[in-house]
Chains A and B, each alone.
Chain A
């Protein structure tokens, strides 16, 4: 084993392919995570996010391509890598009869320089349920305990899989602040999420994946700005006649794209000017389509995703 360079990226995935039977979960994915960032892997359910993460965590061996974490091979260099990473699984991970604090203390004992578990419990709002058996913890408490277990060993990278799924808004904000504090202290945070507001608020860098492929990458600003683009959402009273998106795109000219969202709504992305809006309105009149609403807005990650895939990010 050659000693990995200290400046190797936190995570480097190159041409990763993972299949389950006939189903391709990850399809030639390449992405990189820089150190000391919060990087979000954003995508709908089933996009291959968890599979990719679990390959980085050494649970799965890449079927093709390579994965390096801190310059190490997660399978071959498992023993060297595992103490340096923290993992928050999507669900489970504790005995049903174990008490919350006891579980955290146990994970702490496996590490050389663990955090003080009393402090950590306190920070994550687990102080009141320290003696509660795991099976009686609420879903949110189980999530926070899972996060505490990922952090207690003072890792260089934490992989958090859907960290705020099922949390109430207050707990979500607390978790976000904690993840930002981790970055401030020099920890690299890799999170998967299908909440675009979470990615937009937290991430320095976002990788959008769908069907196991990387479809866009950049900072939230880079992804949403995309030039001087805006979005127009058009909702009509009766279903669009067939072929409407194509005809509307022709009417609008170059530099615009039209995505049909469902049978009564369309998303237009293009130059943010009054002329585009006027053209859409004119097209409606000419095609005997009665608009119910026509809204102009800055595009957000949700729109970016829609435009790239033609599908909603959150079901």
Chain B
């Protein structure tokens, strides 16, 4: 008998478990090259490319190109992390039995979910810092719509994360990978996230009800006009409720 393994069981305080989980999730996401590409590199390229290209193609904007593009690119960054990265990561966690393993640890499911959201927010803070610095270097002059922008990020995260978990819960890991990337590309191009709804002509009436259009709209209203876009925020809230209901009905932890 060595005494090394004498039982002394117990769960760590919940907040410490959630913090550990959030730190772990964000660290793993940043370690993954593709995820980093999606989170930071693509949005920065879109921002620089959009600003450089706006003049050349003669895009008629009421404001300077960077003032229009920067809020949209922030929305794009939120979408990439909360939807695509989360869906892919969760899909593979199910595949590798990580969620099953954590299911027999002291971390409750609500704590796992809180940890995931915490991890997302950590990544988003980093994204917002990097993108804002690049945008400021391009003479970005944001309006002080702090409330509208903050609500946009939070509700946008909730909407996209719930939809991402829904996809990860019903599809196999590889199918999740493909679907999450495809949806991301489609919404980036046609979802009024980077470009305003007005750029889509008649289709804009449809696109503005998508979570991408609503998030892009909320960010632009906040950071171009300093306004809080309540309609767009309500649309995001509705998507979050729908996504949560779908996920709650279908998600399997294994």
Contact = CB atoms under 8 A, between A and B. Distances in A.
Interface in B1-21: 1-12, 16-17, 20-21
A181 B101 contact: no
Given A112-B10, A187-B5, A97 B32 contact: yes
A93 B100 contact: yes
A79 B108 contact: yes
B2 A89 contact: no
A92 interface: yes
Given A95-B28, A97-B28, A109-B20, A156 B104 contact: no
Interface in B176-234: none
A119 B92 CA distance: 30
Nearest to B111: A110
A76 interface: no
A272 interface: no
Interface centre among B7, B21, B32, B97 (most CB of A within 10 A): B7
B186 to A, nearest CB: 28
Given A154-B5, A185-B5, A187-B7, A95 B104 contact: no
Contact of A106 (B5, B9, B20, B104): B20
Interface residues of B, number: 34
Contact of A107 (B4, B8, B31, B105): B105
B105 A110 contact: yes
B101 A119 contact: no
Contacts of A93: 96-98, 100-101
Contact of B93 (A58, A95, A110): A95
Interface in A78-116: 79, 82-85, 87, 89, 91-98, 102, 106-107, 109-113, 115
A92 B97 contact: yes
Interface in B48-103: 92-93, 96-98, 100-101, 103
Given A155-B9, A182-B5, A111 B106 contact: yes
A92 B101 contact: yes
A181 B2 CA distance: 7
B28 A184 contact: no
A89 B10 contact: no
B6 A149 contact: no
Interface string B8-47: 1111100011001100100010011000000000000000
Nearest to A90: B97
Contacts of B8: 112-113, 154
B170 interface: no
Contacts of A235: none
Contacts of A91: 97
B175 to A, nearest CB: 18
Contacts of B21: 106
Given A93-B98, A153-B106, A115 B4 contact: yes
The SS class assigned to the B binding surface is: loop
Contacts of B104: 57-59, 82, 85, 87
B226 to A, nearest CB: 42
B107 interface: yes
A154 B28 CA distance: 26
B2 A185 contact: yes
B105 A82 contact: yes
Contact of A94 (B2, B9, B10, B98): B98
Contacts of A97: 28, 31-32
Contacts of B10: 83, 111-113, 153
Nearest to B2: A181
Contacts of B16: 109
Contacts of B9: 83-85, 111-113, 153-156
Interface of B: 1-12, 16-17, 20-21, 24, 28, 31-32, 92-93, 96-98, 100-101, 103-108, 254
Interface of A: 57-59, 79, 82-85, 87, 89, 91-98, 102, 106-107, 109-113, 115, 119, 123, 149, 151, 153-156, 181-182, 184-187
Given A82-B104, A85-B104, A186-B7, 10 more contacts: A58-B103, A82-B11, A87-B104, A92-B98, A95-B92, A102-B24, A106-B20, A110-B107, A112-B9, A112-B12
12 contacts: A58-B104, A59-B254, A92-B98, A93-B96, A98-B24, A106-B21, A110-B105, A111-B12, A151-B5, A182-B5, A184-B1, A185-B5
Please list the 5 inter-chain residue pairs (A to B) with the smallest Cβ-Cβ separation, ordered nearest first: A92-B97, A112-B10, A93-B101, A109-B20, A87-B104
